Amino acid sequence: MDITMNAASKVDKPPIRTRPWVASIIIVLGLFLILFGMVSSILSGVANISYETIWNALTNYDVSIDQHTIIRELRLPRALAGALVGAAFAVSGAIIQGMTRNPIADTGLLGINSGAGLALVVVFAFFPAIAFEYIILSSFIGAGLGALLVYGIAYLSKGGLSPLKLVLAGVVVGSLSTGLSQALSLLFQLNYDLAFWSAGGISTADWFQVSVMMPWIIGGLMTAMILSRSITVLSLGEEIAAGLGQRTKLVKALGTIVIMVLAGASVATVGGVSFIGLMVPHIVRFLVGVDYRWIIPCSAVVGAVLVLFADIAAKLIASPYETPLGAVIAVMGVPFFLYLARKERREL
Amino acid sequence: MSTTLFNPMRRKRSIKLVIFFFAVLVALFIISLNVGRYSITPMEVLQTLFGNGSKKQNIVLFDLRLPRMIIAVLMGMGLAISGAVLQGISRNALSDPGILGISSGAGLAVLLFVSFYPSNTLAPPFLMPFLALIGAGATAVLIYLLSYKKGHGISPTRLLLTGIAVGAGLSAVSIILTLQLSPRNFEFVVTWQMGSLWGSNWKFVIALLPWIVILLPIVYWKSKILNMLSMNEHIAESLGVSIHRERLLLLAAAVGLAAASVAIGGGIGFVGLLGPHIARRLVGPQHQYMLPITAAVGALLVLIGDTIGRSFMEYTEIPAGIVISLLGGPYFIYLIMRAKA
């Protein structure tokens, strides 16, 4: 990594600190860990399963063997959903942090997840028999409204947008939509479901959900990659970006749509999980530097690994009961948040 | 300075407003008494209050609605004053026991008790505030320590961010605990967390009353010190205030008020934020004038929230906490937009 930094300083350009080598190692290692995590995730659980059984279930599927059915119908979609959702939350966090130039940003903390949650409660209350394809769409709308509200508050506020104000705006938008969700769930008696949903968990993910959300998330991640260069420029500051000829409004609008899709699809599948989008981009930025062309793919990989292993922990901690995924992640995320609150510096 | 500190105009205005709010409170109280599944007209309310009601009216008024509304008033005052004190000592107008995570700490302690002694849904009412106090106090200490930085002291921004982070952690723990409860306890805990005043009876009134009666006068008595603390540490110090002791005492009072209120009424947010703000707009920032108005506004808010929550639907109630956050959220958004930092 020192070599690349020296090279950058020789060229005498404005130093965008970046370490492609580290990033490449992270991506390769991460992909390997994702594979390892998915296998571990399939192995872990109440029913005992061996490596051979996994192989057989994939290559030589036999419906009459229970373990094959468990692998194909329960554990594999769950592992896939975990990886996808982890990547989606992490990348949406990276985009928000880059666009708002704000270190303490995450779809959970900014109330975007609870906006999606509110939309889901509305759908459950008024159209209980609706299919997942449409549920996921309503979740996009909810996430979008949450994001617009938070941005709106930030945009209209005096003296611009400090990290504290953004977080506070997120807290209010979050508690407003949670309040509305709770009121609705009381009126329609969805209370218990809502509690499980807001705790976050992948245990209910099935093939159908995975097949519906996968194209959205992969599309979102690819769009994020296309935008990554512009987000790097935007993260230098809006004036600089505009000075470099960037259409900042367009980039921001597209970025918001990506966030909406990624967060919305994830929330519809696993519920409200915070902190992934806060932690992962910070760790990645620390390792690979400030170029979003590397931050975004690395965040996707690291986020997937994080959620895969957190979900395994969620299965094992209080086995045979499931611990909510959101709580497992929060155990790591809260100290991280505290650390950022202590630093209290803009460093993007 | 002295002209603003001891302004006879403001004093008069403050007294007038207190009388006005008291009248509104009484009116609302009587209206609220006749709202609910069993409707009683205001005249009948008065008759029943003076001892001439039917048996059913007596039960509904004295055993169900009256204690519940007294609790609403008491906890409204408690939360609002707690918020005013926290805003004063942290020198940040966006502080509130809910946002700082103190209410979550109080809630978690009560929740822990419920999950370890699941046989009795409710701890003895008088015990609840003490349990909550342990949780809220521990949380306050934790936030204070975590946001303290050597050489820099405590910055208001860091205090709030730390509070939000700690609150998020506490609510994650609460979620794990809640999901392991039996369905019956689950219903109770969830509605309690949302700030319903369900199941209020005279025992709860008696459990909450001493906290409010003792702590409110203490805070009021310290209002001039609050004035100094909320201006600037250095000014306060040069005026001979021993900052650390006073701040700690006031913090303890704020934590006690919030803990007792949350233990009895559940997690009601935004009252600690709205009460002081409305009061400040009406009579200015001097605590000796602003605190009584804050208490009155807080009481009104919770009472209104509870009344709306009860009258909204025929067959179910919406907890006061939800109504208040739907009313208070937009106002808080407005405050954030105006705030400088």
Please, which contacts does B113-122 make with residues 24 or more away whose CB atoms are closer than 8 Å? B114/B181, B114/B185, B114/B188, B114/B189, B115/B177, B115/B180, B115/B181, B115/B185, B118/B181, B118/B182, B118/B185, B121/B184, B121/B185, B121/B188, B122/B188, B122/B199
* Cβ distance of B326 and A344 shorter than 8 Å: no
pLDDT band at A190 (very low <50, low <70, confident <90, very high): confident
The C-alpha of B210 sits at a distance from chain A's nearest C-alpha, in angstroms, of 31
More reliable by pLDDT, A324 or A219 = A219
pLDDT of the residue at B121: 52
pLDDT of the residue at A13: 46
pLDDT band at A217 (very low <50, low <70, confident <90, very high): very high
The C-alpha of A295 sits at a distance from chain B's nearest C-alpha, in angstroms, of 25
* Cβ distance of A195 and B186 shorter than 8 Å: yes
Q: Considering only CB atoms, which chain A residues are within 8 Å of B146?
A: 338, 341-342
Helix (H) or strand (E) holding B149: strand B148-149
Please tell me the pTM assigned to this model. 0.85
Does the structural domain B24-338 have CATH classification 1.10.3470.10? Answer: yes
Nearest to A157 among B175, B178, B336 (CB): B336
Determine the distance from the C-alpha atom of residue A185 to the mean position of all C-alpha atoms in its chain, rounded to a whole number.
25
* Cβ distance of B164 and A171 shorter than 8 Å: yes
The C-alpha of A54 sits at a distance from chain B's nearest C-alpha, in angstroms, of 31
* Cβ distance of A330 and B169 shorter than 8 Å: yes
Model ipTM value = 0.79
Q: Considering only CB atoms, which chain B residues are within 8 Å of A324?
A: 175-176, 179
Please tell me the least confidently modeled range out of A48-57, A142-151, B42-51, B84-93.
B42-51
DSSP for residue A65: S
Domains in chain A, ordered, with CATH?
A: 2-10+18-343 (1.10.3470.10)
* Cβ distance of B99 and A164 shorter than 8 Å: no
Nearest to B194 among A157, A182, A333 (CB): A182
pLDDT of the residue at A3: 43
Predicted confidence pLDDT, tens digits, chain B (341 residues)? 444 455 677 778 888 888 898 899 888 888 887 777 677 777 777 777 777 777 777 777 777 788 888 999 999 999 999 999 999 988 888 888 988 889 999 989 888 887 777 555 555 677 878 888 999 999 999 998 888 877 666 777 888 889 989 988 898 888 878 877 777 777 777 777 777 776 677 888 888 899 999 999 999 998 888 888 887 667 766 776 677 788 889 999 999 999 999 888 887 888 999 999 999 988 888 898 899 999 999 999 999 998 888 877 666 778 888 889 888 888 888 888 887 65
Q: Considering only CB atoms, which chain B residues are within 8 Å of A337?
A: 161, 164-165, 168
| Contact by Cβ (8 Å): A127, A259 | no
| Contact by Cβ (8 Å): B153, A346 | no
| Contact by Cβ (8 Å): B263, B75 | no
* Rounded CA separation B285/B283 (Å): 7
Asked whether residue A45 carries a pLDDT value surpassing 80, the answer given is no
Q: Considering only CB atoms, which chain A residues are within 8 Å of B340?
A: 158-159
pLDDT digits (tens, 9 = 90+) for A236-294: 888 888 888 888 889 989 999 999 999 999 998 888 888 999 999 999 999 998 899 99
* Domain range summary for chain B, segments of one domain joined by +: 24-338
The C-alpha of A178 sits at a distance from chain B's nearest C-alpha, in angstroms, of 9
Q: Considering only CB atoms, which chain B residues are within 8 Å of A153?
A: 333, 336-337
* Cβ distance of B333 and A153 shorter than 8 Å: yes
Determine which of B115, B149, B161, B177 to mutate to test the interface with A (most A C-beta atoms within 10 Å).
B161
Q: Which of B259, B260, B262 is nearest to B320 (CA)?
A: B262
* Cβ distance of B155 and A169 shorter than 8 Å: no
